[in-house]
């Protein structure tokens, strides 16, 4: 199997190749408002998901 493919990069120009691989500086947004902390996924949530899944399966067979 051929693993070396150079034909893709030959079709790109030098500026396009440079824009493809150039490093982008990242910044941290300090002034953003804090998001509300989400509650942990609990047993009750799992129970509700399972209960709703069973109802959807039952409805699917009646349609």
**What pLDDT score was predicted for residue 34?**
73
For the entire predicted model, the pTM comes to 0.31
**What pLDDT score was predicted for residue 7?**
66
**What pLDDT score was predicted for residue 29?**
76
Tell me the domain boundaries of the chain: 1-25
Spatial neighbors of 12 by CB under 8 A, at least 6 apart, are 20
3-state secondary structure string, the chain? CCCCCCHHHHHCCHHHHHHHHCCCCCCCCCCCCCCCCCCCCCHHHHHHHHHHHHHHHHHHHHC
**What pLDDT score was predicted for residue 25?**
81
What is the residue-level pLDDT of the chain in tens, covering all 63 positions? 566 666 666 677 788 878 888 887 888 877 777 777 777 888 888 898 888 887 777 776 665
């Amino acid at each position: 199997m051929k693993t070396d493919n150079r034909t893709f990069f030959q079709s790109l120009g030098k500026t396009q190749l440079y824009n493809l691989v150039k490093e982008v500086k990242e910044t941290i947004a300090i002034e953003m408002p804090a998001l509300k902390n989400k509650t942990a996924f609990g047993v009750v949530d799992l129970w509700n998901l399972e209960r709703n899944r069973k109802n959807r399966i039952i409805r699917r067979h009646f349609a």
